[in-house]
Amino acid sequence: MDDDRGCLRLVLAVPLFLLTVIAAYFCWTALTIRPSGPWDDDAHAGIILSCVLTIGAAGAAAVLWVLSPVRRVMRWWCIGPALLLAIVASVRWGMGG
């Protein structure tokens, strides 16, 4: 039984890891884009899009983790990094993309 859980944990970790990496990439872009000024609408739109994509990827990871079979084999801290990235993106978005 423990062998099955280890294999299941590995299989379920892959999508959680990939979604977290996607969220990290878009969060990084949201934090590194610097508008030239208040008139730079393209940069502001890029920041907002990056924040939305970060929150979307982290939300998808959270939805995956909330499923009962996943939650039984994955601990709560597995979803922590994705949720932290979503919080950072929300703060960045709130600061005025």
Are the CB atoms for 29 and 49 separated by under 8 Å? no
Question: Please, which pLDDT band fits residue 1 given cuts at 50, 70 and 90?
Answer: very low
pTM: 0.85
User: How far from the centroid of its chain's Cα atoms is residue 21's Cα?
Assistant: 7
- Among 92, 12, 19, residue whose Cα is nearest residue 56: 19
Rg of the chain over all Cα atoms, to the nearest angstrom: 16
User: How far from the centroid of its chain's Cα atoms is residue 75's Cα?
Assistant: 17
Q: What are phi and psi of 79, to 5 degrees?
A: -95, -10
In total, the chain counts a number of residues equal to: 97
Using one digit for the tens of pLDDT, what is the confidence trace for 26-74? 999 999 999 988 898 999 999 999 999 999 999 999 998 888 777 777 7
